[in-house]
Amino acid sequence: MEANQRKEGYAIGEAVRNKTTGQKMLSLAKTKMTEVESEIADACDKMKEFEKKES
């Protein structure tokens, strides 16, 4: 998505300004990436706990 083709203030993976309010916000892609990173970290923690129980 080109910078000049943005609609409604969204761009992929970066903080952008909302065109109506002027407030900075994270794009939908960045928000989703943060959620996925959190899920991966939780899964790693669970795996470490499981490995401790098994040893």
C-alpha–C-alpha distance, residues 12 and 7, integer Å:
11
Question: pLDDT tens for residues 11-51?
Answer: 445 566 767 776 776 677 778 888 999 999 999 999 999 99
Specify the number of domains making up the chain.
1
Instruction: Report the pLDDT value the prediction gives residue 16, as an integer from 0 to 100.
Output: 66
- Percentages of the chain per state (helix, strand, coil), in multiples of 5: 55, 10, 35
CA angle (19, 20, 21) in 5-degree steps? 100
pTM over 0.85: no
Region at 54 (left for phi over 0; alpha for psi -120 to 50; beta for the rest): alpha
The domain containing residue 10 runs over which residues? 3-54
HSE of 27 in the Cβ direction (CA atoms, 13 Å)?
A: 15
Instruction: Report the pLDDT value the prediction gives residue 15, as an integer from 0 to 100.
Output: 64
